């Protein structure tokens, strides 16, 4: 079926084969899904957030299910930038689609260093700045809730990289449009939203958090979709750069909602856990929808909310 | 993958046995490996639920995979209402199974409640490898009413039972019964133990294993998001000085701290079976 409609687009210098990507943190380093997904078919691969040093991550218990959602506090466990380059990046040598690396730092300098290190690797096509992780200091939310900090960070990273620059926004602000506008002004190629919302669940028998000593975690999954869709529409009405919609997408129909609301692409998160093939099914589903509706280019669908 | 439900019966209280038909050309599980099952078609329950293989019965054209489970929440409640003939969406086998060494002729299984699920297959596998092996089963629960699978336990080896209140068998817990049996010389001097149950029980068994230099393996349980090593939910602390990595214990998911004094392992990928000495019990048991 592939090839009958034009699904591709450009995000700055980076080509997206189609508007469907896995969301950072739900797809490991890509290889975890190779038995289920043809990675070459993805719009792009977004790997989990990488920090300068390896991080062991949060203490168990790291996740718990809530109605239609998941509370997770992983604490940005990752192999660190050196480990990523040595052990994980070579895998993408044979993968024919764009690669976006999510990066997180404890200071603007760390983000800049990560960007500089990745400049030496042409296989990496884009950076997604994680300034919205609800659980940790590094890659943490405090970069994403202060407009001036966001401005400084995006400006500094833009200065040192020519790769596609995407900024992942947190919903934990009064007006997310302000942050999206700042990203646009500072030269970001796209914004992605939303990251998880902080949340809690308590075991009333034991009177302790269901996330153990982590207490709270990020709420993700279908439970957050209506809120995510609302914010994506707000941001799409405000900025001209592409917007990646994220939040509880579990089907083609969900993905279409974000595209119709104005998102240029979508990131699939939690549902990868439930159906590891979901990205493939949504790519096929979007193409089928376009054909059925006699649309030849994905751009004819994006932002068509009447 | 979709598998047909061949049987789904209540065996006692909230304990159930599910049997799925697996094509004989499919990858077959080893004792200790598990499947993740989509429990329902809605978004609540949301995540797949992990279930260890209980027994595998090979027939000519198909294989019967048995899963033993306890109804504890929305997912297992849905599962308990599945009918024969319906299809279940399951992914597996996942994780690493128990290891069997030829020279282990004396095997002791320590289970509490539903912990018997992965251990039954261990007994069968041991006896298949070595017909002269001696299998001892220590099975227990809170009270007599909560003990199930008595007949099945007796069938596969020498069974001892324990209850917290003494209403059946030994009064006490599994590790206490094990000590009692060792002290009263009812067990061979050397044995290998396989255990599954609450984490504090496993920790106490680990202490016995260390004190008497007895080898052992445990199957751990934790909330899982994906079962594929991607979501990093099911992290378990290991003892940095004792991490086993050889052809039997391949561990692709270890994550060390920067100073390499702490290490986490993903139960879905590196486990769920670990060497009993390998787990950092002090950090794992709440």
Domains, chain B, with CATH or none: 2-94 (2.40.30.10), 106-219 (3.40.50.80), 221-281 (no CATH)
pLDDT digits (tens, 9 = 90+) for B147-161: 999 999 999 999 999
Buried b (16+ CB within 10 A) or exposed e, B232-250: bbbbbbbbeeebeeeeebe
Residue B255: closest C-alpha in chain A = A56
In residues, how long is chain B? 286
* Domains, chain A: 9-57+74-197+221-300 (3.20.20.70)
| Yes or no, beta carbons of B230 and A28 under 8 Å apart | yes
User: Any catalytic annotation for residue A156?
Assistant: no
Residue A33: closest C-alpha in chain B = B228
> Would you state the pLDDT for residue A132?
83
Residue A251: closest C-alpha in chain B = B43
DSSP state of B48: -
Contacts of residue A173, Cβ cutoff 8 Å, sequence gap at least 6: A144, A145, A179
> Would you state the pLDDT for residue B59?
80
| Yes or no, beta carbons of A77 and B236 under 8 Å apart | no
Residue B268: closest C-alpha in chain A = A32
- Beta-carbon count within 10 A of A15 CB: 14
Categorise residue B40: left if φ over 0, alpha if ψ from -120 to 50, beta otherwise: left
CA–CA gap between residue A56 and residue A64 (Å, rounded): 19
Q: What are the backbone angles phi and psi of residue B199, rounded to the nearest 5°?
A: -65, -35
Helix H or strand E encompassing B219: strand B216-219
> Would you state the pLDDT for residue B130?
87
Q: In the Cβ-directed half-sphere of B238, how many Cα atoms lie within 13 Å?
A: 31
pLDDT digits (tens, 9 = 90+) for B21-40: 998 889 999 999 999 999 99
- Beta-carbon count within 10 A of B194 CB: 31
> Would you state the pLDDT for residue A246?
98
- Which of A30, A45, A53, A63 to substitute to test the interface with B, most B CBs within 10 Å? A63
> In chain B, how long is the greatest CA-to-CA distance?
54
Tokens found for residue A286: 């979007």
Contacts of residue B134, Cβ cutoff 8 Å, sequence gap at least 6: B105, B106, B107, B157, B158, B188
pLDDT digits (tens, 9 = 90+) for B65-99: 999 999 999 999 999 999 999 999 999 999 999 99
> Would you state the pLDDT for residue A3?
67
Nearest alpha-carbon partner for B55 in B145, B152, B138, B139: B152
B199: buried, middle or exposed (CB in 10 Å: 19+, 13-18, 0-12)? middle
Nearest alpha-carbon partner for A292 in A1, A13, A15: A1
CA A277 to chain centre: 18
| Yes or no, beta carbons of A64 and B236 under 8 Å apart | no
> Would you state the pLDDT for residue A46?
98
CB-based contact (8 Å) between A39 and chain B?
no
Cα dihedral sign for B68, B71, B74, B80? positive
Q: Do B192 and B277 contact (CB within 8 A), yes or no?
A: no
> Would you state the pLDDT for residue A142?
79
Q: What is the DSSP string of A94-147?
A: G--SEEEEEE--SSHHHHHHHHHHHHT-TT--EEEEE--BSS-STTBGGGTS-H
Residues of B in contact with A79 (CB under 8 A): 255
| Yes or no, beta carbons of B46 and A212 under 8 Å apart | no
pLDDT string in tens for chain A (306-residue length): 456 899 999 999 999 999 999 999 999 999 999 999 999 999 999 999 999 999 999 999 999 999 999 999 999 999 999 999 999 999 999 999 999 999 999 999 999 999 999 999 999 999 999 998 777 666 567 789 999 999 999 999 999 999 999 999 999 999 999 999 999 999 999 999 999 999 999 999 999 999 999 999 999 999 999 999 999 999 999 999 999 999 999 999 999 999 999 999 999 999 999 999 999 999 999 999 999 999 999 999 999 999
In residues, how long is chain A? 306
Q: Which of B44, B48, B230 faces A33 most closely, judged by CB atoms?
A: B230
Q: Do B108 and B133 contact (CB within 8 A), yes or no?
A: no
Residues of chain B falling short of pLDDT 70: none
Residues of B in contact with A28 (CB under 8 A): 228-230, 232
Q: Do A176 and A234 contact (CB within 8 A), yes or no?
A: yes
Annotated catalytic residue, options A5, A133, A183, A186: A133
CB-based contact (8 Å) between B84 and chain A?
no
């Amino acid at each position: 079926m592939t090839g009958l409609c034009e699904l591709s687009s450009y995000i700055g210098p980076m080509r997206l084969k189609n508007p469907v990507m896995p969301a950072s943190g739900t797809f490991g380093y890509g290889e975890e899904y190779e038995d289920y997904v043809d990675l070459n078919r993805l719009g792009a691969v977004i790997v989990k957030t990488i920090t300068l040093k390896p991080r062991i991550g949060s203490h168990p218990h790291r996740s718990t299910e809530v109605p239609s959602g998941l509370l997770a506090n992983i604490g940005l466990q990752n192999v660190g930038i050196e480990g990523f380059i040595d052990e994980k990046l070579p895998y993408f040598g044979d993968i024919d689609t764009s690669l976006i690396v999510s990066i997180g730092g404890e200071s603007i300098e760390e983000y800049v260093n990560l960007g500089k290190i990745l400049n030496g690797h042409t296989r990496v096509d884009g950076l997604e700045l994680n300034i919205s992780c609800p659980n940790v200091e590094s890659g943490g939310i405090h970069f994403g809730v202060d407009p001036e900090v966001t401005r400084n960070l995006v400006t500094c990273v833009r200065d040192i990289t020519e790769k596609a620059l995407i900024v992942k926004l947190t919903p934990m602000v009064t007006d997310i449009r302000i942050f999206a506008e700042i990203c646009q002004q500072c030269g970001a190629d796209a914004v992605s939203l939303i990251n998880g919302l902080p949340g809690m669940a308590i075991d009333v028998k034991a009177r302790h958090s269901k996330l153990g000593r982590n207490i709270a975690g990020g709420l993700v999954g279908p439970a957050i979709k209506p809120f995510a869709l609302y914010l994506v529409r707000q941001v799409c009405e405000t900025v001209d750069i592409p917007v990646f919609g994220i939040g509880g997408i579990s089907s083609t129909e969900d993905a279409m909602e974000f595209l119709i609301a104005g998102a240029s692409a979508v990131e699939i998160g939690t549902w990868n856990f439930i159906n590891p093939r979901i990205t493939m099914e949504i790519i096929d589903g979007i193409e089928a929808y376009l054909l059925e509706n006699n649309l030849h280019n994905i751009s004819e669908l994006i932002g068509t909310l009447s | 993958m979709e598998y047909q439900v061949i049987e789904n019966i209540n065996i006692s209280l909230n304990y159930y046995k599910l049997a799925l038909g697996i094509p004989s050309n499919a990858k077959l599980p080893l004792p200790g490996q598990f499947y993740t099952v989509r429990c329902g078609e809605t978004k609540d329950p949301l995540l797949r639920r992990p279930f260890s293989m209980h027994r595998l019965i090979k027939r000519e054209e198909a294989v019967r995979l048995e899963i033993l489970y306890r109804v504890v929440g929305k997912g297992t409640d849905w599962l308990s209402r599945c009918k024969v003939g319906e299809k279940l969406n399951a992914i597996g086998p996942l994780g690493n199974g128990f290891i069997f060494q030829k020279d282990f002729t004396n095997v002791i299984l320590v289970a509490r409640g539903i912990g018997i699920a992965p251990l039954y297959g261990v007994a069968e596998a041991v006896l298949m490898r070595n017909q002269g092996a001696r299998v001892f089963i220590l099975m227990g629960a809170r009270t007599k009413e909560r003990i199930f699978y008595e007949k099945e336990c007796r069938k596969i080896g020498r069974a001892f039972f324990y209850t917290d209140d003494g209403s059946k068998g030994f009064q006490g817990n599994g590790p206490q019964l094990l000590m009692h049996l060792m002290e009263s010389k009812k067990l061979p001097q050397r044995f290998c133990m396989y255990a599954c149950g609450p984490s504090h029980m496993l920790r106490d068994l680990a202490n016995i294993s260390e004190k008497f230099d007895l080898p052992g393996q445990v199957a751990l349980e934790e909330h899982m998001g994906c079962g594929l090593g991607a979501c990093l939910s099911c992290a378990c602390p290991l003892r940095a000085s004792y991490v086993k990595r050889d052809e039997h214990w391949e561990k692709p998911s270890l994550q060390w701290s920067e100073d390499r004094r702490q290490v986490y392992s993903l139960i879905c990928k590196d486990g769920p079976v670990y060497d009993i000495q390998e787990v950092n019990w002090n950090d794992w048991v709440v």
